[in-house]
Amino acid sequence: MRLVLLGPPGSGKGTQAARLKVELGVPHISTGDMLRAAVAAGTPTGLKAKAVMDAGKLVSDDILLAMLEERLSQDDVKNGFILDGYPRNVAQAEALGHLLAKIGQPLDAVVKLDVPDEVIIGRVEIRFKAEHRKDDDPVVVRDRLKVYAEQTAPVADFFAKRGQLQVVDGVGELDEVTARVKRALAQESAAANG
């Protein structure tokens, strides 16, 4: 299964990916986690990304695509992956399509978690208090939600026009949301095989 999870910051993409990776037997690839690891390691990419991330801005497309291409070349993704945090704009969605075609791993499904902004702000305030991640500061998150609405929301339309998008209600108990995502994946799989 090659899956992209879409949704605003704080919508639960990472949580759902962590739950699905065990069931699907594929790795969860989070560009946010990849960037945070690069920042923590002090790599050149990490140093470039740190200032951008601390300000709540998005890291450049070329940096993300290079990191992603390297990650998708590793052995553990041969049977698929769950991609979280990428693509964040239509240019990235197009670049992802070219990359996946090049490596012979087209997407099986794209799932968008639909969560209202006010719910997201409440969620990230809790996470910010627990983890103290600068990109979870409520002021930064409000800015990130604006950027999401302008740049990332059109990605859902990009995939919808290609018949690849499933929209799932991301509000509720974790098990409920996971069950909704699994139903969406089953529908997508049935449509592809039907």
Which of the two residues, 83 and 49, has the higher pLDDT score? Answer: 83
Which member of 13, 19, 21, 123 is catalytic? 13
- 152 annotated ligand binder: no
Strand partners, 30: 84
Q: Which residues contact 157 (CB under 8 A, 6 or more apart)?
A: none
Q: Is 56 left (phi over 0), alpha (psi -120 to 50) or beta?
A: left
Residue type, 160: A
Which member of 2, 21, 123, 144 is catalytic? 144
- 80 annotated ligand binder: no
Which member of 2, 19, 21, 88 is catalytic? 88
58: pLDDT strictly greater than 80: no
Based on the residue annotation, tell me whether 13 is a catalytic residue of this protein. yes
Percent of the chain with pLDDT over 90: 55
For 58, the token pair is 């998005």
Please, what are the domains in the chain?
A: 2-181 (3.40.50.300)
Which member of 78, 127, 134, 162 is catalytic? 127
- 144 annotated ligand binder: yes
Q: What is the mean pLDDT of residues 4-11?
A: 92
Question: Length of the chain in residues, anyone?
Answer: 194
| pTM, full prediction | 0.85
Q: How far apart are CA 191 and CA 186, in angstroms?
A: 9
- 183 annotated ligand binder: no
How does pLDDT run across 17-30, given as a tens digit for each residue?
A: 999 999 999 999 98
- 32 annotated ligand binder: no
For 94, the token pair is 């197009």
pLDDT at 194: 64
Based on the residue annotation, tell me whether 88 is a catalytic residue of this protein. yes
Place of tokens 């890291």: 59
Based on the residue annotation, tell me whether 50 is a catalytic residue of this protein. no
